[in-house]
Amino acid sequence: MNAVQFDTLKLVQDLHDNAGMSQVHADGMVRAFAAAFDGEVATRADIADVRAEIRALDARIDKRFAEMEVSIDRRFAEMEASVDARFVEVRAEIKALEAKMDRRFAEMEASIDRRFAAVDLRFAKIEADLVALEHRMTIKLGGMMIVAVGAVAALVKLL
């Protein structure tokens, strides 16, 4: 800061003439005042410089915030694109898994159908075998009854 320049002799004279102070008091007060503010008082130019520095700092801060906003927007756009791409990949993986599951279920269903068809064939064969067995047993039983009736008839004639 620049030192404030003021006429100490004129101030002593004004205090003595206009305020009614003694020359000694006015001189002592002005010396104390000058010592207290020696180089520590801001001038209008100092204040203008500080204001200009604040405006420059404010402009730099605004620029930095704008740059950060652009950077953040870019990063969010990149992240959004990455997430969207990953979702597309995940959806494709899900569709592939669904197709695989559909194939596996179709294979299992076909396998079960084949097994049931084989069981149905075995039951049909067993049923046909039972029918054939029933016919054979009926014929054998009929033959045995004929032989038995013939034997009983022969025994009755003999006796």
Mean pLDDT value across residues 53-68: 96
Mean pLDDT value across residues 41-54: 89
**Boundaries of every domain in the chain:** 42-158
Beta-carbon contacts of 19 under 8 Å, excluding residues fewer than 6 positions away, are 26
The confidence band for 3, taking pLDDT boundaries of 50, 70 and 90, is low
Q: Where are the alpha helices (DSSP H) in 6-43?
A: 8-18, 23-36
Mean pLDDT value across residues 69-76: 97
Each residue's pLDDT tens digit, 135-156: 999 999 999 999 999 999 999 9
Beta-carbon contacts of 29 under 8 Å, excluding residues fewer than 6 positions away, are 15, 21
Least confident of 32-41, 50-59, 61-70, 113-122: 32-41
The answer to whether the CB of 36 falls within 8 A of the CB of 62 is no
pLDDT of res. 29: 87
**C-alpha–C-alpha distance, residues 103 and 95, integer Å:** 12
**C-alpha–C-alpha distance, residues 134 and 113, integer Å:** 31
pLDDT at 7 over 60: yes
pLDDT at 68 over 60: yes
**pTM, to two decimals:** 0.43
**Joined tokens for residue 80:** 């959004």
Mean pLDDT value across residues 100-118: 97
Query: Radius of gyration (Cα) for the chain, nearest Å?
Result: 61
| CB atoms closer than 10 angstroms to residue 105 | 10
Any idea what DSSP says for residue 8?
Answer: H
pLDDT at 40 over 80: no
pLDDT at 39 over 70: no
The confidence band for 12, taking pLDDT boundaries of 50, 70 and 90, is confident
The confidence band for 9, taking pLDDT boundaries of 50, 70 and 90, is confident
pLDDT at 6 over 90: no
